[in-house]
Amino acid sequence: MVIDLKKYFLSDDLSDTVEYDLDLSQVEVNGVKPFLEPVKVRAVFHSFAGSVDLEAHLHYTVTMPCDRCNEETVQEKIVRFSHTLVRELNEEEDDDDYILVPGERLDLDELLTEDVLLEMPSKFLCSPDCRGLCPSCGFNLNLGDCSCEKEQTDSRLEILKKLLQDSSETK
pLDDT tens track for 34-43: 999 999 999 9
Please state, rounded to an integer, the average pLDDT across all residues of the chain.
90
Q: What ranges do the domains of the chain cover?
A: 2-119, 141-170
Q: Indicate the pLDDT class of residue 97, thresholds 50, 70 and 90.
A: confident
pLDDT at 82 over 90: yes
What residue ranges in the chain does DSSP mark as E strands? Answer: 2-4, 15-22, 39-48, 51-65, 72-86, 99-100, 105-107
Report the range out of 1-10, 37-46, 97-106, 132-141 with the highest average pLDDT: 37-46
Q: Are 101 and 86 in contact (CB under 8 A)?
A: yes
Give me the amino acid identity at 159. Answer: I
CB 64 within 8 A of CB 32: yes
Residue type (1 letter), 102: P
Check whether 3 has a pLDDT greater than 80: yes
Average pLDDT over residues 66-95: 88
**Cβ(19)–Cβ(41) below 8 Å:** yes
Whole-prediction pTM value? Answer: 0.78
DSSP 101: -
Give the β-pairing of 15-22 and 51-65: unpaired
pLDDT, tens digit (0-9, with 9 covering 90-100), for 122-148: 899 999 999 999 988 889 999 998 888
Q: Which of 122, 113, 114, 126 is nearest to 25 (CA)?
A: 113
